[in-house]
A and B are shown apart, each in its own frame.
Chain A
Amino acid sequence: MKRVASSLMMAALLSLPAAGRAAGKVSDGVVKIGVLTDMTGFYSDLSGPGSVLAVKMAVHDFGGKVLGKPIEVIAADHQNKADIASTIARKWFDEDKVDAIMDLPNSGTAFAVMPVAAEKKKLTILSTAATTSITGDKCTAYNIHYTYNNWMLANGTGREVVKSGGDTWFFITADYVFGKSLEEDTANVVKAAGGKVLGYARHPQSSADFSSYLLQAQASGAKVIGMANAGGDTINTIKQAKEFGITPKQTLAGLLVFISDIHSLGLETAKGMYLTTSFYWDYDDQTRAWSKKFQNHPDNAKKAMPTMTQAGLYSATMHYLQAIKAVGTDQAEPVIAKMKATPVNDFFARHGVIGPDGLHRHDAFLVQVKSPAESKYPWDYYKIIKKIPAAEAFPSVAAQKCPLVK
């Protein structure tokens, strides 16, 4: 007994300096997370204030402190402009002692901030940006791509829809890098799965009227109309497809659709559509418990359910803080190594592993939007058609060709 007591004492004594040392390794005496997102624009409903809330909830649930030092969250609006995003990032790293920048809707801002973070040896944890090359040829050693990417969207929806009989496709594509890359990724998947691409119509970003593109899609006779666009463009495409009697004769496949879009469209308009998502609030008890907490949070003014990018940010923040706690410092290199070495299994991610390229690979879901008759309660929007295992949902490390990975 005495020996036990003395060895405990010994352990306590030994751990004292260790704890002291660890606390000293929190730079500037604070762990600061900057949420850089779109607070007022195109993506503000699916990320924006909800993203900030998710990060704050994670910090709160973590206890507000790590290694004895406080955790702070700050946020800014990058207005979807790459130059503003990189200017804020520099200021945050240089003057405001920010340790990690999170979210970054739209790939343009992600590509502007990632090199800044790498130069300053600080973390970027992306949730809303989608372009596959973030962890491909443009990967950095200081970046983690956490929630989803174009490849996941294209594969999930493309392959599964072809398998279920939708083997002829027509694309309505937003005429900029994101849209074209999403179209190309999906077209490749469709062809590989034995389907045929009959044509495409490319529209300028933020168009209001899609009827002429829809008429072309109708004339093509394709079974599936793939929408390689986002936000308001997708919403108006879906709305007008119904108006012109295109659905339900032809099926729509949403390549980047969030639950906030479905909520704003209403089920009567969106019903029957296929889409891929990495998170659905009503999947199991864990997802429901967290999502309801998010929905009923006093800061969630619209009482909206979380989108996948918001849920992903909570999970990412937790994973980040746990890594800091485990390695005893907030220095980027050991933290990121720890994050990559530790599998993620929580309400958001199942079988989650962050690869050497920085891509977080986890299970995803192919879902179909319910009809109003099938929906039993508010936000009861999706039927889960298939759970896509992590290895199929995301590209392999070899396929990503990130130059960091030799």
Chain B
Amino acid sequence: MQALFGQLLVGLINGSFYALLSLGLSIIFGLVNVVNFAHGAMYMTGAFFAWIGLSSLGIGYWPTLLLSPLAVGLLGVVVERTMLRRLYQLDNLYGLLFTFGLTLIVEGLFHHQYGNSGNSFPVPEALQGGSNLGFMYLPRYRAWVVLVSLAVCFASWFFIERTKLGAYLRAGTENPRLLQAFGVNVPLMMTLTFGFGVALAGFAGVMAAPIYQVTPSMGSGLIIVVFAVVVIGGMGSILGSIVTGIGLGLVEGLTKYLYPQAAATVVFAIMAVVLLIRPAGLFGREK
């Protein structure tokens, strides 16, 4: 029983990563209508910026938590303005292929420069250590990850669902032309949305840096699961990706307890079932 609690808590930790990543993906798909395959690469870039900042510029964890996502977001803005924008009038398969190619290039560049074994980013001093909960030892940093992810997810949800700017975003998702007719600068909004979405990925990357080794391939392993999360939750549904992200983390944790060999597959099994029963996802709407 103790082991089960431990695994569920670990599942919650992983789930909050999934939620953070799938949230950005969902926001981008919802408004910009791009299936952003480069999301994993942006997550990796965020982690690498943190590591580069620390090792060559001496920038610590706390400023990096803000600076690195900002840099990744800027990168996203540049990519959107100079390249991705040209693909909007085409089928969104082109956006998918473009971002996939971008992933390969970005990963290749980091690989060429930093090799594949990766680099260690230390846990910030204030968050070192942990506490014994009786059924498991909870590292303080992991608790921090859960809290921050939940806070960021909630803030994003609140911003999009409850504020006026959020209402514009949602209106843009429904009918961009009409919104433009009302005098809203939709292209700028799309650029900023894309930037914000990938900044979230960069943020998740910084959060992950002290836990996982910072390697060029760290994003590509995660992105597939995150896509499954988005598909299960419903493409473009903000609440869907948050709830599904955390939920799937828990299911994965449970699987690791019951039958660890299936831990990598269980998410996809669920995805297949959901697609058969509700093709638009658990929280998605049929169009």
A interface with B by C-beta (< 8 Å): 40-42, 44-46, 175, 201-204, 206-209, 211-213, 215-216, 218-219, 231-232, 235-236, 239-240, 243-245, 260-261, 263-266, 268-269, 302
Contacts and interface: CB of A to CB of B under 8 A. Distances in A.
Interface in B140-171: 141-142
Contact of A204 (B3, B11, B14, B261): B261
Given A207-B264, A235-B213, 9 more contacts: A42-B116, A202-B260, A204-B264, A231-B117, A232-B217, A239-B120, A243-B139, A261-B117, A264-B213
Given A243-B123, A264-B117, A204 B10 contact: no
A179 B106 CA distance: 31
Interface of B: 2-3, 6-7, 10-11, 13-14, 108, 111, 115-120, 122-123, 130, 136-137, 139, 141-142, 211-213, 215, 217-218, 221-222, 253, 256-257, 260-261, 263-264
B10 A209 contact: yes
B10 to A, nearest CB: 5
Contacts of B13: 211
Contact of B117 (A201, A209, A263): A263
A219 B1 CA distance: 12
Given A206-B221, A245-B137, A245-B139, A239 B212 contact: yes
B119 A213 contact: no
B167 to A, nearest CB: 37
Contacts of A218: 137
Given A232-B217, A235-B213, A44 B3 contact: no
Contact of A264 (B3, B10, B119, B142): B119
Contacts of B213: 232, 235-236, 239, 264-265
A265 B121 CA distance: 9
B144 to A, nearest CB: 12
B173 to A, nearest CB: 32
A219 B2 contact: yes
Given A208-B221, A215-B3, A244 B137 contact: yes
A302 B139 contact: no
A235 B117 contact: yes
A232 B10 contact: no
5 contacts: A215-B6, A235-B117, A235-B118, A243-B142, A268-B122
A314 to B, nearest CB: 20
A209 B117 CA distance: 16
Contact of A260 (B7, B117, B211, B253): B117
Nearest to A209: B14
Contacts of A261: 117
Contact of B260 (A201, A206, A235, A266): A201
Contact of A236 (B11, B122, B123, B212): B212
A243 B211 contact: yes
Most chain-A Cβ atoms within 10 A of its Cβ — which of B2, B116, B118, B221? B116
Given A203-B263, A245-B137, A302-B115, A269 B217 contact: no
B118 A175 contact: no
A221 to B, nearest CB: 13
Given A175-B261, A211-B10, A269 B117 contact: no
B222 A216 contact: no
A236 B208 CA distance: 12
A45 B112 CA distance: 11
Nearest to A175: B261
Nearest to B112: A40
- Nearest 6 pairs between A and B by C-beta? A264-B117, A204-B264, A212-B256, A45-B117, A215-B6, A211-B10
Contacts of B139: 243-245
A213 B115 CA distance: 27
A268 B116 CA distance: 20
Contacts of A175: 261
B128 to A, nearest CB: 9
A11 to B, nearest CB: 54
Contacts of A45: 115-117
A31 to B, nearest CB: 31
Nearest to B6: A215
Contacts of B6: 212, 215, 219
Contacts of B111: 40
Contacts of A208: 212, 218, 221-222
Contacts of A231: 117
A266 B120 contact: yes
Contact of A215 (B116, B117, B136, B141): B136
B33 to A, nearest CB: 29
B141 A44 contact: no
A263 B116 CA distance: 12
Nearest to A204: B264
A338 to B, nearest CB: 37
A302 B116 CA distance: 12
Given A208-B221, A209-B14, A243-B211, A215 B119 contact: no
Most chain-B Cβ atoms within 10 A of its Cβ — which of A202, A211, A212, A268? A212
Contacts of B142: 211, 243
Contacts of A236: 212-213
Nearest to A206: B221
Contacts of B136: 215
Contacts of B256: 212-213
Contacts of A266: 120
Most chain-B Cβ atoms within 10 A of its Cβ — which of A175, A201, A231, A264? A264
A219 B3 contact: yes
Given A218-B137, A232-B213, A44 B115 contact: yes
A201 B255 CA distance: 12
Contacts of A215: 3, 6-7, 10, 136
B75 to A, nearest CB: 23
A211 B6 CA distance: 9
A212 B257 contact: yes
Nearest to B129: A245
A245 B119 CA distance: 21
A252 to B, nearest CB: 15
Given A239-B212, A243-B211, A245-B130, A204 B120 contact: no
